Amino acid sequence: MQPEEFSELFPLFNAANPETLEWLLSIAAEHEYPADRAVLMEDAWGNAVFFVVSGWVKVRRLSGDDAVTLAILGRGDFFGEMAILDESPRSTDVIALSPVELLSISAQRFIQTLFKDAQLHHRMLQLMVKRLRQTNLRFQLRHQPPAVKLANTLVGLGENYGQPGEYGTEIYNIPFQDLADVTDIGVEETTKIMEKLNEKGWIKIDSAHETLALVNQKQLSHLAGRV
């Protein structure tokens, strides 16, 4: 991967200088995982920062035999950055939802880079604030009807990771249980709402290609209260 391609794919590196990008690419390790494979176990947080080159992953909170999906991340996003700054034990893991390609940079070298490149440090803070705002939005939506909350989840995934497709913005066909978890509603409610959105023609699920098209993003955004 060339520095320009790396910078374009990952918003974190938009403002990084070319020397920083070349050095990071020279030390980055490449990883490939099939769907359903554990990408990062709960005892491995803090060792590296991971960047999603392609595919989709989910971050889960573990409690005994139960697991709840906290976040869904796609191409161009990253994870593990908080753990290298906060060394507290974590009861979370990361699982590949689809076949996924990752790059990883060791914690020590990533921290060194942040200290050396002020623009990268500033950009990291901006993206961390953005994540806090997204968490705050979920908190504000907690008393909204399930359909409004789910529409927000779908629109957000489309805005962050969607790619142009035949029928509209396409995202991965995320399992309903994971959608329910990150939306904080029940899986039965999620199933009913998704079936209704599909019947209305606002979304189109292609199970064969594992895609979910946001056909009428304007209506979804209106339902989500974003317009």
What region, left, alpha or beta, does residue 225 occupy, with left being phi > 0 and alpha being psi -120 to 50 degrees?
left
pLDDT tens digits, one per residue of 42-92: 777 778 899 999 999 999 988 878 899 999 999 999 998 877 777 665 678
Mean pLDDT value across residues 178-186: 96
Phi and psi angles of residue 52, each rounded to the nearest 5 degrees, phi first: -85, 105
From CA 21, how far away is CA 31, in angstroms rounded?
Answer: 19
Note the pLDDT of residue 87: 65
From CA 221, how far away is CA 106, in angstroms rounded?
Answer: 39
Question: CATH number for the 144-224 domain, one of 3.50.50.60, 1.10.10.10, 3.40.50.300, 3.40.30.10?
Answer: 1.10.10.10
Domain boundaries, given as residue ranges, for the chain: 3-139, 144-224
Q: Does pLDDT of 95 surpass 90?
A: yes
CATH 2.60.120.10 fits 3-139, yes or no: yes
Helices (H), the chain: 3-9, 18-27, 81-85, 107-116, 118-140, 146-161, 176-183, 187-200, 217-224
Domains 3-139 and 144-224 share a fold: no
From CA 171, how far away is CA 214, in angstroms rounded?
Answer: 8
- Write down the pTM of the prediction: 0.90
Tokens of 193: 């709402």
Question: DSSP characters for 103-160?
Answer: EEEEHHHHHHHHHH-HHHHHHHHHHHHHHHHHHHHHHHTTTS-HHHHHHHHHHHHHHH
Note the pLDDT of residue 90: 66
CB 203 within 8 A of CB 154: yes
Highest-scoring range by mean pLDDT, 131-135, 137-141, 184-188: 184-188
Q: Give percent of the chain above pLDDT 90.
A: 60
